[in-house]
Amino acid sequence: MTNNSIKVFAPATVANVACGFDIFGFAVDNPGDELILKKANHKGVKILSIEGDDGRLPLDAERNTAGIAIIKFLEAIGEEGQGFEMNLKKLMPLGSGLGSSAASSVAGVFAANELMGRPLAQKDLLPFAMEGERIACGSAHADNVGPSLMGGFVVIRSYEPLDIIQLKTPQELYATIVHPHIEVNTKDARNILKREISLKNTITQMGNVAGLVAGLMLPDYDLISRSLVDVIIEPIRSILIPQFDDVKNAALENGALGCSISGSGPSMFALSKDLFTANRVGKAMQDGFAKVGIGSECYVSGINQAGPVVLG
C-alpha cells in the first residue's frame, strides 16, 4: 500500500446458513476477490480491467458492483471530485452462491476508504457495499456484504434501520463449500420463492434460527446440528440443484453437523466440528456430484474473522 495505491482481498461468504434466509451469513478464508485501487487525477471511477469473469462483468463503474459502491461512498463523504482507477481480479465463479458480487463491492469500498484516510468506520461502509448488491440482483441485501465486510458470523436483525450483530463462533467450527459446475441465477432463485408461508413453517423456522444462534454462542454442537434445518427456502431452491438430496445425505453420513444451500446456490455448504471431518465431508459431497458427471470445486475453511485485508 502507498498513499495513492492499495491492493486488497475480500472474502467469499455463505449466506442464509440454512434457516436464516436474508438474515444470516458468515465469511470464509477462500475463495474471494482481489482488487487494486489507485487514486487518479480525473474525476470518477474508471475500471481498467477485470480478470476471471470471462468478459461478463461491465467495465462501466455505475453498472459494476465495486464501482457503484465506491461512487456512493465518495458522494457520502463529499469527495465526488476524487478519481480512482481499478483493476479487479475475480477469484471465484460468478453465480456461485458464494457472494461474488458482495466480495467485489466490499473490496472496492474498503480500498477507497483506506486510500481516503479512513473517514468512516469499517461497519459504516455497509450501506455502500449493499448498493453493489442492488446492482447485481435488484435487492440491497446484507447477508453477504455484512460478513464479507465485518468478518465472522453476522445476523441482520433489521434493515430499517440497518442493525447487524456479530456472533462469536467456536474455533473448532469448519465450513465445507462445494461449488458444482452449474449456474443458478440469483434473480431466478428469488423469483421462484413463495410470497406467503404457513404459520406452522414460520414457527419451526423461528425455532431453528433461535437454536442456531444459541448453539453457536454456547457452544453446543448438537444444538447447532438440530438447528441447521430450513423448512421454507431449501425445499423450493433445491430443485435447481441436481443431486441435491444425495449430496446433502453424503455430507451428513460423513459427520457434517448440517448441510444446505449457500446463498441462492448452486454451491452447497456443510458445517463440521473439526478440520478432518470437514475435509472428509467435502470429498463425499464432490463424489455425490461426480456420480452424474458434474465437476466441482471444494473449499474448506474456518470462519473468517478478518473480513477484507490489505495485501502486500
Residues with a known catalytic role? 133, 186
How far the first Cα of the chain sits from its last, in Å, is: 7
Residue with C-alpha cell 436474508? 22
| DSSP state at residue 295 | -
List Cα–Cα distances, 25 to 78, 119, 166, in angstroms.
31, 26, 10
User: What is residue 62's DSSP assignment?
Assistant: G
Name every residue whose Cβ is closer than 8 Å to that of residue 163 and which is 6 or more positions away in sequence: 156, 157
- The partner residues of 165 in beta bridges, in order of sequence, read 155
CA angle 64, 267, 293 (to 5 degrees): 120
Give 294: exposed, middle or buried? Use CB within 10 Å, 0-12, 13-18, 19+: middle
Are the CB atoms for 172 and 155 separated by under 8 Å? Answer: no
Bridge partner list, 301: 175
Q: Which residues contact 249 (CB under 8 A, 6 or more apart)?
A: 288
Distance CA 23, CA 232 (A): 14
